[in-house]
Structure 1
């Protein structure tokens, strides 16, 4: 693990990335679309129950794939810890396994193969875990 950002600009960038990831996950969890007009659809027997789960899975997949690719390439925010990245405890476990596998894949078959592995495994693992939103009691929403 790398040392946390030290310059004010790096700390600001890290906070901005963490806040963006947290906001994205919060909106996905609540089913909100920041660009839409607030409304409440009437609940009916035909309301799809899979929609919230699909949103959680998509948010999980995007978060993990983004941060795993940043870590693999040494991109911006690669040294942040899992809480700064806006990951749940369960997502952190998935992320760690994917990053480990991606490094091995890159060493064996190159960077493009590692990127494909990240996308594939993030989608598979987030789907299997229904968005991987579990967090232990140490998690608190940002204040």
Structure 2
């Protein structure tokens, strides 16, 4: 039996090269390459988080309908943060009565920032005491 003669196809080398390139791309970066640099995850300081929480819930509770209700744990506050909220809200209600709602909202921002910064300034990096939950 005579060996079959194959006629070379001009597209065969091109198809082989494309298949090789596709398989290399599918495997991802090589062993020595570094991953692409992406954005770093953002962190929020305990002071900023406290301020955001107090401002949010004080404005909520200052609404004419009394806000969403709930207790400090439902608000995601520690006991100490709740004490700040209670004090700031009491001052804001007086400010609203004397100078209007815009003045009360500004007072909330100002007092929450000052009280939260004061609260966490002496605590270092961790908002929780060694024994457990933040106070």
Under a length normalisation based on structure 2, what TM-score does the superposition of the two structures give?
A: 0.57
Question: Residue in 2 aligned with 1:118?
Answer: 108
| Residues 57 and 126, structure 1, Cα contact 8 Å, conserved in 2 | yes
Q: Unmatched 5+ residue regions in structure 2?
A: 1-37
Question: Residue in 2 aligned with 1:87?
Answer: 77
1:67 aligns with 2:51: no
Point out the structure with max Rg over C-alpha.
Answer: 2
How many residue pairs get matched? 91
Q: Tell me how far 1:75 sits from its aligned partner.
A: 6.8
* Structure 1 residues 95-128: Cα deviation after superposition (integer angstroms, max 9, x where no partner): 0000111001000000000000000000000000
* Structure 1 residues 63-114: Cα deviation after superposition (integer angstroms, max 9, x where no partner): 0000000000157953111010000010000000001110010000000000
Q: Unmatched 5+ residue regions in structure 1?
A: 1-34, 39-51
Within 5 Å, which residues of 2 pair with 1:31-110?
55-74=45-64, 78-110=68-100
1:129 aligns with 2:119: yes
Q: Tell me how far 1:55 sits from its aligned partner.
A: 0.6
Structural RMSD (CA):
3.2
| Residues 61 and 122, structure 1, Cα contact 8 Å, conserved in 2 | yes
User: What is the distance in 2 between the residues matched to 1:90 and 1:71?
Assistant: 18
| Runs of 4 or more above 4 Å deviation | 35-38, 74-77, 131-135, 137-140
- Aligned-partner SS, 1:87: coil
* Structure 1 residues 19-53: Cα deviation after superposition (integer angstroms, max 9, x where no partner): xxxxxxxxxxxxxxxx9678xxxxxxxxxxxxx8x
